[in-house]
Amino acid sequence: MIIIKLKNITSKRNDIVSGLKAHSPEIKVVNVYECGTARYIHSIDDESQVLSISCSDGKVSEAYWFVGVKEILKMDLLDVMIQVKESGIVFIRKKPDSFPRVAY
């Protein structure tokens, strides 16, 4: 089993925080984490939260998904929707309550 340790780097990445808040004023909180080559950006507004994961080597492994869901979002995989963009960036959001609790 691989142990992945998250490091909160929010205070060092004010550029990311201010950029996200300028682009989406409804965002209340932004936290930035690093783990190896992965960067996690967790944004929270009044109604939702979004976690984006990117890696400097371009490939976000599923192990990083699990860490983000469990350690940052504090959810189970059945409670989230995962979208992988062509760029390799992974976006994870809470499923709407109307969606069934099944893995896709």
pLDDT of residue 103: 58
Residue 60 belongs to what domain range? 7-94
For position 44, which CATH number holds? 3.40.1720.10
Copy the structure tokens of residue 65. Answer: 């998904």
> pTM here?
0.87
Does the residue 90 lie in any domain? yes
Residues 6+ apart with CB under 8 A from 85: 91
Quick one: CA torsion of 90, 58, 86, 89, rounded to 10 degrees? 20
Domain membership of residue 56 (yes or no) is yes
pLDDT at 58: 83
Nearest-CA neighbor of 17 among 33, 4, 35?
Answer: 33
pLDDT along the chain (104 residues), means of 10: 79 95 94 94 94 92 92 93 94 82 59
User: Is 31 domain-assigned?
Assistant: yes
Report pLDDT for 100.
Answer: 67
Q: Is residue 17 one of the residues assigned to a domain?
A: yes
Residues 6+ apart with CB under 8 A from 61: 55
